[in-house]
Amino acid sequence: MTQLTPSQHAAQMESMKEFDTSLPCIGIFWYDMEANELFGVRKQELTPKKVEDAAEKGLPFVNYPQLHRQVWAKEYYRAQAKHEDTKFTGDYTKVPRGRVTWNIDKFIVLVGHWAEPIQEQLTVLLEQEFALPYFEFVYDRHWDLGHGWSGDMK
């Protein structure tokens, strides 16, 4: 049997890079209404193994493992320490935000009613950013402007 040399192997791997597209992702995001763009995006690829592991544990959702308030605070303090301008100021619940998750057999995007009038353009942004082949919007009060994590309400 013939074997590739290290340089042939490297060349083969390099040529295959163009085929390596992202898997669909789960994650969180904020939406800048003025710029019509997502920001503060945090995501991770959803592998079939993650879905199977969740199903074996009886979990209906596969979620990104951070909350918006955690990311917002981290970015706020980072910008303060570096004396940088940032979108991460004020109350994180006052900025449109959402979560991309896997629910049993489909991707869902959890958002507030702020997303209804811009659903078409938001769909395009989410499909591109999270490499989603399809998804369903799910509206919930938690994601409406001014509402946040229940632990924040104490």
Mean pLDDT of 117-131: 96
pTM of the model: 0.83
Specify the pLDDT at position 131. 94
Confidence of residue 151 (pLDDT cuts 50, 70, 90): low
Q: Is the pLDDT of residue 78 over 80?
A: yes
Specify the pLDDT at position 153. 44
Number of domains in the chain: 1
Q: Is the pLDDT of residue 25 over 70?
A: yes
Mapping DSSP to helix (H, G, I), strand (E, B) and coil, where does residue 58 land?
A: coil
Confidence of residue 150 (pLDDT cuts 50, 70, 90): low
Question: Which residues, 6 or more positions from 60, have their beta carbon under 8 angstroms from its beta carbon?
Answer: 54, 103, 104
- Judge whether 79 lies within some domain: yes
- Judge whether 93 lies within some domain: yes
Full residue range of the structural domain in which residue 48 is found: 26-153
